[in-house]
Structure 1
Amino acid sequence: MELKGIKGFDQSEEYDRRLLEDVKKSVFFTKVDQLKAWSRTRSFWPLSFGLACCAIEMMGTGGSRYDFDRFGVIFRASPRHADVMIVAGTVTAKMSPVLRTLYDQMPEPKWVIAMGSCATCGGPYKEAYSVLNGVDKIVPVDVYVSGCPPTPPALLDGVEKLRQKIRLEAKGERVLKG
C-alpha cells in the first residue's frame, strides 16, 4: 500500500529508524506460550483436598501470617473453577475414586501438589490395608512437598516449584519430576 501524497506523512529512513526505536522501547515481544505460562503462574486457584493434619497446615498458609492471596493463590471449593489440586493427607482406597473424579472435573491445564508424607508415600499408615502408598497411584503429581506435616513455608516453596515447572515447560525445557 502506497501512502505517498498524504500531507504530513514522512517515509524517510529517519522516520523508520525513530519508529523502530520507539517500538523497541514500548513493545514487549514474547512467545504466546510463555505469556500464557506467565499468567498461569500468577493466578493459581487450588482445590483443597485436605484429609488429615496436613490440611491444618494448608489452612495456616491461607491465613494472615503467610497469606497465600498475595501470591495470587485463591482457594476454590469447586473443581470446575480450580487449576491446582493440593492433596494433603492420607488417601485411602475408598477415597481414591472421589479423588479421581474431582481431578477429572478440573479444566485443563491442571496440576497436582502432594502435600505431606501421607500423600506422597502413605506416611506412618502405609502398612494399613486401605491406605494408598502415594496419591500418584491415582492422579499425576507435579510437585511433592515432604514433611509430617509440612510447614506453611514448605507449601509456599512447593507452589514456587510449580511456578518454575510451568515456566520451564513453556520454554520447552526438560523438567525433572518432583
Structure 2
Amino acid sequence: MWKVVRQIAKTGICTEPAPDIGAIDAAQAARIQQELLDILGQALSIREVDAGSCNGCELEINALGNPYYNLEGLGIKFVASPRHADLLLVTGPVSRNMETALKRTFEATPEPKLVLAVGDCACDGGLFGESYASCGRVSNVIPVDEVIAGCPPPPLAILRGILKAVRRRVVQPTGAARLRL
C-alpha cells in the first residue's frame, strides 16, 4: 500500500483543469432558452445517430449533458425516437450497413427538420472516405444543414453548431420547404 501512496505523491495531480469557456450565467441561459422557444415554440429535441463512428464524437456529445455545459438547462434534450426530434445529430462516416437506417431515421423525423454532421468523418468522410464499406460523408446519404468539424469537436463547438443551425432556420427563406416553420 505504501508503494501506491509514494507513487501518487511522486506523480501528483494528472488531470487537466476545466476548460475556460466563460461560464454561462443565468441571464445568458435564459436568453438562449427564450430564443429556442421563440424559434421552435418548444424545447429543442435531438436524435443522435451514430452512423459508424469511432465513438470519439459521442463522448463529446455526452459531455454536453454534464452540469458544466447543462444542455437540459438550456431547453435542449435528447430523445429516443426520431418521431419526436427536431434535429438529427449524425456522427461518423455512413457505413453501408447504416445507410438504410439513416435514411429511414431521416424520413421518420417530422418537418421541419434539421440535420447536423458532427466530426470530420461525418463532414467529409475523414480517414475512411468512400469505399466498399463506407458511403463517406453524411451528405452523400441525406441532406445536411450544418457541419461541425473536428476530430472530435469539443462540446462547446457542438453546442455552438446546434445554436447556429437553429438560428439559421429563422433566417432561411420560406421557399425552402425543409426549413419552413
Q: Do both proteins adopt the same fold according to a TM-score greater than 0.5, normalized to the shorter chain?
A: yes
- Residue 133 of structure 2 corresponds to which residue in structure 1? 130
CA shift for structure 1 position 170: 6.2
Number of residue equivalences? 139
Alignment partner, residue 124 of structure 2 = 121
Task: Tell me the CA shift for residue 55 of structure 1.
Answer: 1.0
Q: Give the Å deviation of 1:43.
A: 2.1
Task: Give the AA of the match of 2:140.
Answer: K
**Matches of 2:37 and 2:81, distance apart in 1:** 23
- Distance in 1, Cα, partners of 2:170 & 2:121: 28
Unaligned runs of 5+ in 1: 1-34, 173-178
Identity of aligned residues (%): 33
- Which residue in 1 is equivalent to 2:6? none
Q: Is the 8 A contact 1:61 1:67 kept in 2?
A: yes
Contact 1:41 1:166 survives alignment (8 Å): no
Q: Which residue of 2 aligns with 1:146?
A: 149
Contact 2:37 2:43 in 1 (8 A): no
In the TM superposition, 1:60-71 aligns within 5 A as 60-71=63-74
Residue in structure 2 matched with residue 40 of structure 1 by the alignment: 40
Whichever residue aligns with residue 116 of structure 1, its letter is G
Structure with bigger gyration radius: 1
1:1-178 correspondence runs (5 A) = 38-40=38-40, 43-50=43-50, 51=53, 52-126=55-129, 128-169=131-172
Distance, in Å, in 1 between the alignment partners of 2:79 and 2:43 is 12
Take 2:41 and 2:126, find their aligned partners in 1: how far apart are those partners?
Answer: 30
**CA offset digits 1:105-150 (Å, max 9, x no partner):** 1111111000001111111111543122210111111110000000
Paired with 1:163 and 1:89, the residues of 2 have a C-alpha distance of: 22
C-alpha RMSD of matched pairs (Å): 2.5
What is the SS of the residue equivalent to 1:74?
Answer: strand
Paired AA for residue 107 in structure 2? D
- What is the TM-score when the length of structure 2 is the normalising length? 0.69
Larger strand percent: 2
User: TM-score, normalised on structure 1?
Assistant: 0.70
Query: For the residues of structure 1 that align with 2:94 and 2:137, how far apart are their CA atoms?
Result: 7
Q: Distance in 1 between matches of 2:158 and 2:169?
A: 17
Q: CA 1:94 to 1:38, structure 2 compared with 1: closer, same or farther past 3 Å?
A: same
CA 1:111–1:91 in structure 2 vs 1: closer, same or farther (change >3 Å)? same
